Amino acid sequence: MSDYKKTDTNIWAGRTSDDQLYLHEKITCIDLENDELPENQNTAFAIVGYACDEGVRRNSGRAGAALAPDIIRKMMSSLSNHLDDKVQIIDAGNIFCNENDLEKTQSYTLNRISELLNKKYFTIIFGGGHDLAYSHYNGIKKYKPNTTIGIINLDAHFDLRKIKNEGNSGTPFYQIAKENDRFKYLCLGIQEESNNKELFETANELKAQYIKNTDFTFENKDHVVVIINNFIASVDNIYLTIDLDGFSSIYAPGVSAPSPFGFSLDIAMTVIEKICKSGKLISADIVELNPKYDIDNCTARLGARLAYFIMKFISSH
């Protein structure tokens, strides 16, 4: 079985119009291995699916996130389109993990991300597990090797676990930190109950910055924005990663590790808009949707709308 497959165009379906009133009408599906990338003269986005939950399985989590990319696409498909006519969106297919070979999948993924960035596409990756972050960061680094890349992670977890035998969905940022002298990491929404004392010690040792879920609130938004602005000013480029399990399970029941004490949609949208309009955001991903446990596609719809608003914020800046 191949590690890559072009997206089935039938996934992008819905009402039709003569004026691209619906998002699916703006999508062009391409085969990264056989097609030439369309010429990009304006704002252009590339969607890639990371259909892999091997890292979640290795981390003793609930498997199912490998099914997420196509579900998010389906939920995006029927959204009304308010993007500028000049905005291009390509769907660059799905990457799969065969024979549990996560490392091979990560290597393939980073090269594809770098290729798209080199062609000046803003990449939005649909996970899959958060092990995607290791390959996503390295794909950006391959594209921008001599810059300081700041990671902003909306998440309940640090994902700074030390590697015992092999990487997993709980280790990506530790792996990145150990391979990079300029490790800049800001995590928003950290829950004490979901991170043991060793993880907090590791975060402090690595000089990671974080805001706990109790402080990551809309009522505290002015303080949150100051921290984000200072972080953005300290780096050259931003990689935004959104773990859906950081949201309260009211919004995101269908994730690998749900929690009722997650953050709310209003503070998340406030910071996502701020990051998107900073001029430094270079790529983003949405991870850890688990369709097996979703309710009425609630979490998938959240992921789809987050992706749409990222496009809207970026293209309007």
Cα–Cα distance, 230 to 183 (Å, whole number): 15
Q: How many CA atoms lie within 13 A of 266 on its CB side?
A: 5
Task: Give the C-alpha separation, 155 to 252, whole Å.
Answer: 12
Give the CA angle between residues 31, 104, 173 to the nearest 5°. Answer: 105
- What CA–CA distance (Å, rounded) separates 241 from 234? 18
- pLDDT, one tens digit per residue, over 155-164 is 999 999 999 8
Q: Is 50 left (phi over 0), alpha (psi -120 to 50) or beta?
A: beta
Q: What is the pLDDT of residue 38?
A: 81
pLDDT tens, residue order, the chain (317 aa):
469 999 999 999 999 999 999 999 999 999 999 998 887 878 899 999 999 999 999 999 999 999 999 999 999 999 999 999 999 999 999 999 999 999 999 999 999 999 999 999 999 999 999 999 999 999 999 999 999 999 999 999 999 999 988 999 999 999 999 999 999 999 999 999 999 999 999 999 999 999 999 999 999 999 999 999 999 999 999 999 999 999 999 999 999 889 999 999 999 999 999 999 999 999 999 999 999 999 999 999 999 999 999 999 999 87
Report whether 75 contacts 300 (CB < 8 A): yes
Burial 46-84 (b: 16+ CB within 10 A, else e): bbbbbbbbbbbbbbebbebbbbbbbbbbbbbbebebebe
Alpha carbon dihedral 35, 37, 38, 42, in 10-degree steps, equals 170
Domain 4-316 CATH class label? alpha beta
Q: CA 131, CA 102: separation in Å to the nearest integer?
A: 9
Q: What's the token pair of residue 111?
A: 């090269």
Per the listing, tokens 């950081």 go with: 246
